[in-house]
């Protein structure tokens, strides 16, 4: 499982495009959330499970570099990897590619933390040792 990446496919919807016929830049952030949710579900620790167990994981930062435009009906392959994991904070790395041309359309990162429902940081290893182990094994940048 070490350094395993995960791919999620999103097809651009008409409503995601703007007057110029290209995907509005804000939608890429939504697609990252879709990919991240699918990724966590794949490993058995989706947001629904975490929240049911009293853990939330807010976004601390988003950094995007737009490379090429996408348009209605393009199929976008979103490669997501755990870039860094400290036990309290988690960073994901995303590479979005046009599935037909393999052209990179966006590179991005997001940073998250783990909090209890009162907003206090939690140490994942203590609450979810299995999730901690999975995230450590998937991390590109070892601490």
Q: Quick one: tokens of 75? A: 């199929």
- Per-run averaged pLDDT (10 residues), the chain, 143 residues: 80 97 97 97 94 95 98 98 96 98 98 96 93 94 64
> 122 near 55, Cβ under 8 Å?
yes
**Site of tokens 């959330």:** 33
18 is catalytic: yes
Instruction: Report pLDDT for 67.
Output: 98
The contacts of residue 17 (CB under 8 Å, 6+ apart) are 23, 24, 71, 72
pTM: 0.93
Q: Give 6-141's CATH code, choosing from 3.10.129.10, 2.40.30.110, 2.30.30.60, 3.30.1960.10.
A: 3.10.129.10
């Amino acid at each position: 499982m070490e350094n395993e990446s995960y791919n999620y496919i999103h097809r651009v919807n008409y409503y995601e495009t703007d007057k110029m016929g290209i995907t509005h830049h804000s939608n890429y952030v939504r697609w990252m959330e879709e990919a991240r949710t699918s990724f966590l579900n794949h490993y058995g620790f989706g947001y629904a499970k975490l929240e049911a167990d009293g853990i939330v994981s807010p976004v601390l930062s988003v950094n995007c570099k737009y490379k090429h435009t996408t348009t209605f009906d393009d199929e976008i392959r979103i490669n997501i990897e755990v870039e860094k994991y400290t036990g309290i904070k988690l960073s994901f790395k995303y590479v979005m590619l046009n599935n037909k041309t393999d052209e990179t359309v966006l590179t991005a990162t997001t940073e998250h933390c783990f909090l209890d429902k009162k907003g206090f940081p939690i140490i994942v290893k203590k609450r979810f040792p299995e999730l901690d182990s999975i995230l450590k094994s998937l991390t590109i940048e070892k601490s």
